[in-house]
């Protein structure tokens, strides 16, 4: 059958199946077959219709089968809960909340079974051996592997990165919606509930996007930099990516189940009382957490056991150190956000009084557990970005990285210190005042290893032969923006000033400066830098610089005006504000700057997407980097290194005559 | 697996190195789980402080002894298969599974219905019920997964899947079992022994 015919067939079958499924479910659950509100049926029919379209494009797509599995899992979950409640004689037998929670869990499981990431493991339990899979599925076009369970770390890296960019677009769109509402005082087009939902979902989807982005960088780069042919556990790697997809889907589904009004932090007891969307949000984050933890298990094992001969820990490319430190936080801290959210869901379902004071629970427990992950989490977001800065600066300064060991150890120091500072989020929460001062000092201590990094970057640039292609511009802006983010931190760490600044737009400005300096700018630097390696083609330099210029200008304007509005008394998370505060003009500027950033990112992404197909073929090593991945042809072949290499020198001895980092066995030496 | 499906990549990693990588990976996972159970333990002390509910001491002591004994048999199974003794391996692993199931019966089947932490009129559990069910429930869930893993290993072992050179599956399941056991060694005093018992007794 022709493609058009299959698409049409898939769409029709999907839409009809969705409508029939909806009606049948209503009849089984004892409701009138036709609902007064047609939108749930339309939404389901559109979802199944899209799955049908995917199936029409290529019947073997793992994604299409995963989504079918997810719908099936939801149906089973709803019915099982209904039947159990019916058998136990509970009234009413159809209760939405438990049914949808069980549906969400089984739906995620259905997705994973459908997409095929557990097939090999299930066969192992029957004593069968399964070969590792290499190359695209037999007889299918090469692009199919990007939409299914592929075990190659480069494919998984691209899957992570592209998903991250898609989520970045979604979260950015949410931001633009509520940012536009805030342009003028007064309620313009959003309701208060919808505003709360959009700020909450902007936050958590951005976090999901960042976790995907760093996952992409780490999965693609670390094995290449170590001289390994893949990660330690290729199947676990595939599972780690695909388990994040149902997690993200559940978070987005929260929009259609009443949204949620707690912000991305989901503080109890408000989250215990909020709408059904909170269950979707929290279970989505919980399932997303498996991705973080299992990805970290894989990455740490890879770094510890798969380094090339001669590559001691202090001869690894510096990004690997950042990835290792990040993974240690992900491995350990993620359990705590899972724990705090799990207890909220249990309290909602079974009325277990963890957080409810009238039952003896304690509200602050949630904040302690939550911030024990969520503060270290910001170091998960920024450490890979800081690693990118340290990785790229020597290349564009043509000088050795200043103080390699200090940089490596400062990443570890940030990872460890990050666990000792969580309660600085709670200075105004009513926790014991005696805890304030120790947490103030521990928070200030973070400035030490971060300062080490800044000194090293300055030392690396000092008297270097700087050149300024797009990746370098993004790197330099990262440093400048992260400096603003860093310097605005101590006033928030200091108790007396924090009591004044807490919950103001100053915090919003500070936080966005750390995230842009620590993740967004370095992420784009990395994308532009490794783009020729990944695709074998070159992006458009002029468009890249346009992207950089408008993102930089837009960001400075947005962040500085946010801080200024906060200092003048603008509280965060408010849908409306008093024009007498005198900040309406600032909000105009912040909204326009936000749109500028949004459009600049669109330019950047379009540039990369277009260049991946049509860009000029890239030179073998366009940046004259010494890192081993640039010894390989671009794009990198299926089995990275056909022959192993040996590390015989220091990684960043740029500009030093006759210095060698890696030596392939077949060739005598290679100058750096 | 035939020689044709064997690829360049698989040849690159020797079985000995693969074993080291598997061990590192498993221990990383266990470190992660340690943080989960530490968080639960910390929550218990934050919410209960120096108090605890009146629980059946005899039952608590018995299930603890059962679980600790099961770890002994798990270890015996692992040592036996590494020496190639399939008979002792199979007997020990079945004994471990049996004791694990007994533990589950003791906690979920006997402690849960009998614990003096009944819901209120509105079906709400106070902080004693909440923490008790959460701690024992999370632990019991991990015991259950351990039993499933051991059952898979036992079934494969009965078919001769494991021998002195091929024991990773046994070792992994047994290390996980020990871990679940050690968690209970911390949970038991936190639930049954520490602090003063408050509320209705037996």
Report yes or no on A471 lying in a domain.
yes
| Dmax (CA) of chain B | 69
Domain total of chain A:
1
Chain B's closest residue to A126, CA to CA, is B156
**How many whole angstroms separate alpha carbon A277 and alpha carbon A462?**
52
Q: What are phi and psi of A537, to 5 degrees?
A: -125, 165
Helix ranges (H only) for A306-362 are 318-350
Of A127, A369, A639, the CB nearest to B161: A127
User: Of the candidates A453, A642, A485, which has an alpha carbon nearest to the alpha carbon of residue A563?
Assistant: A485
The closest CB to that of B39, out of A351, A356, A369, belongs to A369
Cα angle A467-A469-A472, degrees, rounded to a multiple of 5: 75
- List average pLDDT for each run of 10 residues in chain A, which is 672 residues long: 86 94 92 86 93 89 94 96 94 92 97 94 91 82 90 96 97 96 93 94 96 97 95 96 97 92 92 94 97 97 95 96 97 96 96 93 95 95 97 96 95 96 93 93 95 96 95 97 95 94 96 97 97 96 97 97 95 92 94 97 97 94 93 91 89 90 69 44
Structural contact between residues A216 and A160, judged by C-beta atoms closer than 8 angstroms = yes
In a domain, A355, yes or no: yes
> In terms of DSSP bridges, do strands B51-53 and A662-664 run parallel, antiparallel, or are they unpaired?
unpaired
Provide the token pair at B195: 């602090």
Closest Cα in chain A, distance from residue B195 (Å): 17
- DSSP helix/strand/coil, A571: strand
Distance spanning both ends of chain A, measured CA to CA: 55
Binary contact (A127, B156; C-beta < 8 A):
yes
Residue B3's closest chain A neighbor by CA? Answer: A131
Residue A613 has a CB neighbour count (10 Å cut-off) of: 8
Strand partners, A19: none
Question: What's the whole-number mean pLDDT along residues B88-108?
Answer: 97
Size of interface A-B (CB pairs under 8 A): 123
| A572 part of a folded domain | yes
pLDDT band at B120 (very low <50, low <70, confident <90, very high): confident
Band of residue B7 on the pLDDT scale cut at 50, 70, 90:
very low
pLDDT over 80 at B5, yes or no: no
Nearest to A99 by CA among A86, A111, A89: A86
Residue A667, burial from CB neighbour count under 10 angstroms (0-12, 13-18, 19+): exposed
Distance (Å, rounded) from C-alpha A664 to C-alpha A659? 15
Positive or negative: CA dihedral A507, A511, A516, A522 = positive
Q: Is A530 exposed, middle or buried (0-12, 13-18, 19+ CB in 10 A)?
A: buried
Predicted model pTM:
0.95
Q: Is A176 contained in some domain? A: yes
d(CA B72, CA B143): 15
Tell if the CB–CB gap between A131 and B127 is shorter than 8 Å.
Answer: no
CA distance B191 to chain A (A): 16
**A126 lies in a domain?**
no
With H, G, I as helix, E, B as strand and everything else as coil, classify residue A16. Answer: helix
pLDDT at B6: 37
Q: Provide the pLDDT for residue A339.
A: 96
Q: How many angstroms away from the CA of B10 is the closest CA of chain A?
A: 8
CATH of domain B39-196: 1.20.120.80
Return the H-helix or E-strand segment holding B40.
helix B15-48
**Residues of chain B contacting residue A338, judged by C-beta atoms under 8 Å apart:** 36
How far apart CA A485 and CA A450 sit, in angstroms, is: 11
Contacts of B35 in chain A (CB under 8 A): 332-333, 335-336
Q: Which of A297, A339, A347 sits opposite B39 (nearest CB)?
A: A339
Could you tell me whether strands B196-198 and B51-53 are parallel, antiparallel, or unpaired per DSSP bridges?
A: parallel
Contact A227, A644 (CB under 8 A): yes
**Cα separation of the two ends of chain B:** 60
Domain that holds residue A426: 150-614
Please report, for residues A202, A371, B131, the alpha-carbon distance to residue A263 in angstroms, rounded to integers and kept in the order given.
9, 14, 26
How many CB atoms sit inside 10 A of residue A492's CB? 20
Contact between residue B146 and residue B173 where contact means Cβ atoms under 8 Å apart: yes
% of chain B at pLDDT higher than 70: 93
pLDDT for A200 equals: 95
Tell me the CA distances in angstroms from A536 to A446, A615, A631, A632, A635, one per residue in order. 40, 9, 13, 11, 5
- Rounded distance, CA A60 to CA A111, Å? 15
Interface mutation vs chain A, best among B130, B147, B173, most A CBs within 10 Å: B130
**Phi/psi of residue A570, nearest 5 degrees:** -75, 120
- Cβ count near B25 (within 10 Å): 22
Which residues sit opposite B166 in a β-bridge?
A: B163
Residue among A229, A297, A360 minimizing CB distance to B127:
A360
**B142: closest CA of chain A, how far (Å):** 15
Contact A296 B122 (CB under 8 A): no
Distance from CA of B47 to the nearest CA of A (A): 6
Q: Select from A96, A231, A105 the least CA-distant residue to B13.
A: A231
The residue among B23, B47, B127 with the most chain A CBs within 10 A of its CB, best to mutate, is B127
> Distance from CA of residue A223 to its chain's centroid?
20
Is the predicted pLDDT of residue B4 greater than 50, yes or no?
no
Domain for residue A591, yes or no? yes
Domain range list for chain B? 39-196
Joined tokens for residue B23: 């061990």
Identify the CATH number of the domain in which residue A547 sits: 1.20.210.10
pLDDT in the model for residue B3: 36
Around Cβ A118, how many Cβ atoms within 10 Å? 18
**How far off is chain A from B99, nearest CA to CA, in Å?**
22
Question: Which residues on A lie below 8 Å from B126 (Cβ)?
Answer: 353, 359-360
Is residue A410, in this structure, part of any structural domain at all?
A: yes
Considering the domain boundaries, does residue A55 fall inside one? no
Tokens standing for residue A233? 């556990």
Under an 8 A CB cutoff, do A351 and B35 touch? Answer: no
């Amino acid at each position: 059958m022709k493609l058009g015919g299959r698409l049409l067939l898939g769409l029709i079958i999907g839409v009809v199946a969705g409508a029939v499924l909806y009606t049948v479910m209503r009849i089984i659950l004892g409701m009138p077959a036709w609902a007064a509100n047609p939108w749930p049926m339309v939404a389901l029919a559109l979802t199944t219709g899209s799955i049908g379209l995917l199936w029409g494009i290529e019947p073997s797509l793992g994604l299409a089968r995963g989504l079918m599995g997810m719908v099936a899992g939801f149906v089973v979950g709803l019915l099982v809960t209904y039947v159990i409640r019916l058998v136990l004689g509970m009234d009413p037998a159809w209760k939405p909340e438990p049914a949808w929670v069980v549906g969400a869990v089984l739906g995620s499981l259905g997705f994973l079974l459908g997409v095929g990431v557990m097939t090999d493991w299930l066969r192992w339990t029957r004593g069968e051996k399964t070969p590792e899979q290499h190359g695209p599925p037999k007889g299918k076009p090469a692009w199919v592997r990007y939409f299914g369970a592929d075990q190659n770390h480069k494919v998984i890296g691209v899957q992570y990165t592209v998903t991250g960019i898609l989520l970045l677009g979604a979260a950015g769109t949410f931001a633009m919606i509520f940012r536009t509402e805030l342009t003028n005082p007064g309620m313009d087009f959003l309701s208060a509930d919808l505003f709360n939902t959009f700020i909450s979902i902007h936050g958590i989807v951005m976090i999901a996007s960042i976790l995907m982005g760093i996952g992409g960088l780490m999965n693609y780069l670390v094995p290449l930099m170590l001289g390994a042919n893949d990660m330690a556990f290729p199947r676990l790697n595939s599972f780690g990516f695909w388990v994040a997809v149902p997690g993200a889907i559940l978070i987005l589904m929260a929009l259609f189940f009443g949204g949620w009004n707690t912000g991305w932090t989901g503080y109890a007891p408000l989250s215990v009382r909020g709408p059904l969307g909170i269950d979707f949000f929290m279970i989505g984050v919980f399932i997303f957490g498996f991705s973080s933890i299992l990805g970290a298990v894989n990455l740490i094992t890879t770094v510890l056991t798969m380094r090339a001969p001669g590559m001691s820990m202090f001869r690894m490319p510096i990004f690997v150190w950042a990835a290792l430190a990040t993974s240690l936080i992900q491995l350990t801290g993620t359990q705590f956000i899972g724990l705090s959210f799990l207890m909220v869901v249990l309290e909602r379902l079974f009325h277990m009084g963890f957080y409810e004071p009238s039952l003896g629970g304690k509200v602050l427990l949630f904040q302690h557990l939550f911030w024990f992950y969520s503060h270290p989490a910001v170091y998960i977001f920024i450490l890979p970005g800081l690693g990118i800065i340290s990785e790229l600066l020597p290349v564009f300064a043509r000088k050795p990285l200043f103080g390699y060991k200090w940089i490596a150890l400062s990443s570890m120091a940030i990872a460890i210190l990050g666990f000792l500072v969580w309660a600085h989020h709670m200075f105004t929460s009513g926790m014991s005042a005696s805890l304030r001062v120790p947490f103030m000092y521990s928070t200030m201590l973070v400035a030490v290893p971060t300062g080490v990094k800044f000194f090293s970057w300055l030392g690396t640039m000092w008297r270097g032969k700087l050149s300024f292609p797009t990746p370098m511009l993004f790197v330099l802006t990262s440093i400048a923006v992260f400096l603003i983010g860093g310097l605005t931190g101590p006033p928030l760490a200091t108790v007396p000033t924090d009591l004044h600044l807490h919950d103001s737009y100053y915090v919003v400005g500070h936080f966005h400066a750390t995230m842009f300096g620590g993740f967004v700018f370095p992420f784009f630097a990395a994308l532009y830098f490794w783009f020729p390696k990944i695709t074998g083609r070159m992006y458009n330099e002029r468009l890249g610089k346009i992207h950089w210029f408008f993102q930089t200008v837009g960001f400075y304007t947005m962040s500085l005006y946010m801080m200024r509005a906060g200092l003048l008394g603008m509280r965060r998370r408010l849908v409306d504000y008093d024009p007498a505060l005198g900040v309406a003009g600032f909000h105009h500027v912040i909204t326009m700057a936000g749109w500028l950033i949004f459009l600049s990112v669109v330019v950047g992404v379009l540039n990369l997407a277009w260049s991946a197909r049509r860009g000029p073929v890239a030179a073998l090593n366009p940046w004259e980097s010494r890192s081993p991945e640039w010894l390989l042809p671009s794009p990198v072949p299926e089995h990275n290194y056909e022959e192993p290499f040996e590390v015989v020198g220091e990684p960043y001895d740029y500009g030093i005559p006759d210095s060698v980092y890696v030596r392939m066995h077949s060739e005598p030496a290679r100058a750096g | 697996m035939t020689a044709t499906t064997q690829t360049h990549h698989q040849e690159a990693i020797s079985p000995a190195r693969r074993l080291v990588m598997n061990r590192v990976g498993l221990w990383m996972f266990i470190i992660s789980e340690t943080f989960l159970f530490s968080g639960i333990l910390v929550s218990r002390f934050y919410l209960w402080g120096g108090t605890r509910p009146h629980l059946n001491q005899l039952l608590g002591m018995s299930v603890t002894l059962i679980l600790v004994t099961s770890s002994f048999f798990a270890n015996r199974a692992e040592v036996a298969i590494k020496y190639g003794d399939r008979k002792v391996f199979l007997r020990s692993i079945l004994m471990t599974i049996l004791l694990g199931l007994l533990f589950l019966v003791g906690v979920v089947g006997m402690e849960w219905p009998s614990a003096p932490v009944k819901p209120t009129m509105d079906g709400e559990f106070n902080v004693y019920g909440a923490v008790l069910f959460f701690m024992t429930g999370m632990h019991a869930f991990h015991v259950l997964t351990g039993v499933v893993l051991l059952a898979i290993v036992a079934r494969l072992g009965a078919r001769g899947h494991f021998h002195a050179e091929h024991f990773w599956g046994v070792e992994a399941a047994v290390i996980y079992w020990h871990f679940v056991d050690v968690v209970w060694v911390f949970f038991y005093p936190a639930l049954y022994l520490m602090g003063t018992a408050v509320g209705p007794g037996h």
